A and B are shown apart, each in its own frame.
Chain A
Amino acid sequence: MWSRLVSLGLRAPVGGRQGFTSKVDPQGSSRITAQVIEHLERLALVDFGSREAVARLEKAIAFADRLRAVDTDGVEPMESVLEDRCLYLRSDNVVEGNCADELLQNSHRVVEEYFVAPPGNISLPKLDEQEPFPHS
Chain B
Amino acid sequence: QSGSSLRIVSAALKQGQITPTELCQKCLSLIKKTKFLNAYITVSEEVALKQAEESEKRYKNGQSLGDLDGIPVAVKDNFSTSGIETTCASNMLKGYIPPYNATVVQKLLDQGALLMGKTNLDEFAMGSGSTDGVFGPVKNPWSYSKQYREKRKQNPHSKNEDSDWLITGGSSGGSAAAVSAFTCYAALGSDTGGSTRNPAAHCGLVGFKPSYGLVSRHGLIPLVNSMDVPGILTRCVDDAAIVLGALAGPDPKDSTTVHDPINKPFMLPSLADVSKLCIGIPKEYLVPELSSEVQSLWSKAADLFESEGAKVLEVSLPHTSYSIVCYHVLCTSEVASNMARFDGLQYGHRCDIDVSTEAMYAATRREGFNDVVRGRILSGNFFLLKENYENYFVKAQKVRRLIANDFVNAFNSGVDVLLTPTTLSEAVPYLEFIKEDNRTRSAQDDIFTQAVNMAGLPAVSIPVALSNQGLPIGLQFIGRAFCDQQLLTVAKWFEKQVQFPGIQLQELTDDCSAVLENEKLASVSLKQ
Please list the residues of chain A having a beta carbon within 8 angstroms of any beta carbon in chain B. 1-2, 30, 36, 39-41, 43-49, 53, 56-57, 59-61, 63-64, 66-70, 72, 75-82, 85, 87-90, 99, 102-103, 105-109, 115, 117-124, 135
From A40, A59, A115, B346 is in contact (CB under 8 Å) with A115
Q: Are B358 and A46 in contact (CB under 8 A)?
A: no
B358/A122 in contact, CB under 8 A: yes
A123 CA / B399 CA spacing, docked (Å): 38
Segment among B38-46, B202-210, B324-332 that sits at the interface with chain A: B324-332
Partner of B226, one of A81, A85, A87, A119: A81
Partner of A72, one of B329, B356, B398, B443: B398
Q: Is the CB of A64 within 8 A of B383?
A: yes
B244 CB → nearest A CB, Å: 19
| A40-B382, A87-B255, A122-B359 given; 11 more Cβ-contact pairs under 8 Å | A45-B361, A46-B377, A56-B437, A64-B383, A67-B399, A77-B400, A82-B212, A82-B456, A108-B344, A115-B345, A119-B356
Interface: B362 (CB within 8 A): yes
Asked if B412 is at the interface of the complex by the 8 Å CB criterion, the answer is no
Structural contact, B336 and A44, CB atoms closer than 8 A: yes
* Binding-face segment, B20-28, B347-355, B495-503: B347-355
Point out residues on B near A: beta carbons under 8 Å.
96-97, 99, 212-213, 226, 250, 252, 255-259, 289, 319, 322, 325-326, 328-329, 332, 336, 343-348, 350, 353-362, 365-366, 369, 371, 374-375, 377-379, 381-383, 385, 388, 391-392, 394-402, 404, 436-437, 439-440, 443, 454-456, 481
Interchain nearest-CB distance for A112 vs B (Å): 15
A60–B332 contact, CB under 8 A? yes
The 6 A-B pairs of least Cβ separation, nearest first, read A81-B456, A77-B397, A122-B356, A78-B401, A72-B398, A106-B347
Assembled-state Cα–Cα distance A82/B255 (Å): 11
Query: In the bound complex, what is the Cα–Cα distance between A3 and B250 (angstroms)?
Result: 46
Complex Cα gap A87–B212 (Å): 14
Contact B381 A118 (CB under 8 A): no
Whole-angstrom distance from the CB of A17 to the nearest CB of chain B? 15
16 A–B contacts from the bound complex (CB under 8 Å): A40-B378, A53-B374, A57-B375, A60-B328, A67-B322, A68-B395, A72-B395, A72-B399, A72-B402, A77-B397, A78-B404, A81-B212, A81-B455, A88-B257, A88-B259, A90-B252
Chain B residues whose C-beta falls within 8 Å of the C-beta of A67 in the assembled complex:
322, 325-326, 329, 392, 395-396, 399
- Find chain A residues with CB under 8 A from B399 CB: 67, 70, 72
